[in-house]
């Protein structure tokens, strides 16, 4: 099945699957340069959109998301419950509020959540066509050298268990944080080895994307299976082989 992906900024991407556009973690205005907003508006224009927000940090959540996606044909949202708690004055219309380690069905999407080791949740999503997508939000292997050995072990064990669930889900497409400040790249290579996705999208670059050129080699994945974007609006198209197809 043909899939199209558009990079917007940081952890924000638009994934076109059939007639649906799945959008992840639109950031707040302070993180959106005009180019990023324009790329997002163009990507969702006239589309039926479901936005997934992993948590309330402003590099992942835009309180004005309905305005930003105003050109879409329809807009629904899936939000981690910490967002509802953080923004009690916002009326989340056409939205599903989710908790960690639960299962839901929303807009013909099957959704499983994982507890993050940062804030909020990670998502495992299955579309009506059978495309399986993992988006980690800020769930990653944050094994900072400055942390104690006990904390590093806890982090790695937590991420190992999450990787087992993601692998068991059978994710075709994986979005996961890849942080150059960490020798482990925040667990990107480990997750790829465990899950063996058909396509991998490194996230959490905060706009510093130059270093992603050639990052597939450090991740241990072929270049055509890794989205090495550079600027807002960069697009990749790829085919996903579905079981039984």
Residue 86 to residue 244: CA distance in whole angstroms:
43
Residue range 50-69, pLDDT digits in tens: 999 999 999 999 999 999 99
Q: Which residues contact 187 (CB under 8 A, 6 or more apart)?
A: 140, 141, 143, 159, 163, 176, 177
Task: Judge whether residue 80 has pLDDT over 90.
Answer: yes
Residue 61 to residue 29: CA distance in whole angstroms:
9
Residue range 130-143, pLDDT digits in tens: 999 999 999 999 99
Residue 6: phi, psi to the nearest 5? Answer: -125, 130
Q: What distances in angstroms separate CA 14 from CA 103, 127, 134, one per listed residue?
A: 23, 15, 14
pLDDT at 14: 98
Higher pLDDT pick, 70 / 33? 70
Q: Hey, where are the domains in the chain?
A: 2-239
Pure H helices in the chain: 34-44, 65-68, 81-86, 149-169, 188-195, 215-219
pLDDT at 90: 93
3-state secondary structure of 13: strand
Residue 35 to residue 145: CA distance in whole angstroms:
35
Output the average pLDDT for the chain: 96
Residue 25 to residue 52: CA distance in whole angstroms:
6
Question: Dihedral through CA 56, CA 172, CA 235, CA 25, nearest 10?
Answer: 0
pLDDT at 33: 87
Task: Judge whether residue 245 has pLDDT over 60.
Answer: no
DSSP 231: S
Residue range 183-208, pLDDT digits in tens: 999 999 999 999 999 999 999 999 99
Distance of CA 20 to the CA centre of its chain: 16
Task: Sheet containing 12-17: give its strands across.
Answer: 95-98, 74-80, 48-53, 20-24, 12-17, 2-9, 235-239
Distance of CA 116 to the CA centre of its chain: 13
Crossing angle of helices 188-195 and 149-169, in 10° steps, is 30
Residue range 147-167, pLDDT digits in tens: 999 999 999 999 999 999 999
The two counts, helices (H) then strands (E), for the chain are: 6, 13
Q: pTM for the full model?
A: 0.97
Report residue 244's pLDDT band, with 50, 70 and 90 as the boundaries: low
pLDDT at 243: 78
Residue 107 to residue 85: CA distance in whole angstroms:
23
Q: In the chain, what percentage of residues exceed pLDDT 70?
A: 99
Best CATH choice for the domain 2-239 from the list 3.60.15.10, 3.40.50.300, 3.40.50.720, 3.30.230.70: 3.60.15.10
């Amino acid at each position: 099945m043909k899939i199209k992906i558009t990079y917007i900024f940081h952890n924000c991407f638009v994934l076109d699957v059939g007639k649906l556009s799945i959008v992840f973690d639109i950031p707040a205005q302070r993180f959106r340069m005009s180019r990023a907003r324009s790329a997002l508006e163009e990507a969702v224009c006239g589309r039926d959109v479901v936005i997934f927000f992993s948590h309330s940090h402003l590099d992942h959540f835009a309180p004005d998301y309905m305005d930003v996606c105003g050109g879409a044909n329809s807009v629904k949202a899936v939000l981690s419950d910490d967002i509802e708690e953080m923004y009690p004055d916002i009326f989340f219309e056409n939205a599903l509020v989710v908790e960690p380690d639960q299962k839901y069905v929303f807009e013909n999407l099957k959704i499983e959540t994982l507890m993050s080791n940062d804030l909020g949740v990670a998502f495992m999503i299955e579309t009506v066509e059978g495309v399986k997508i993992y988006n980690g939000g800020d769930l990653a292997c944050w094994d900072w050298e400055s942390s104690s050995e006990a904390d590093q072990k806890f982090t790695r064990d937590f991420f190992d268990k999450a990787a087992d669930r993601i692998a068991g889900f059978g994710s075709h497409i994986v979005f996961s944080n890849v942080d150059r400040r960490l020798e482990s790249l925040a667990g990107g290579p480990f997750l790829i080895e465990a899950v063996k996705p058909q396509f991998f999208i490194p996230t959490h670059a905060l706009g510093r994307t130059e270093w992603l050129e050639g990052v597939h080699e450090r991740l241990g994945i072929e270049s055509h299976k890794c989205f090495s974007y550079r600027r807002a609006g960069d697009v990749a198209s790829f085919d996903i082989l579905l079981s039984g197809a």
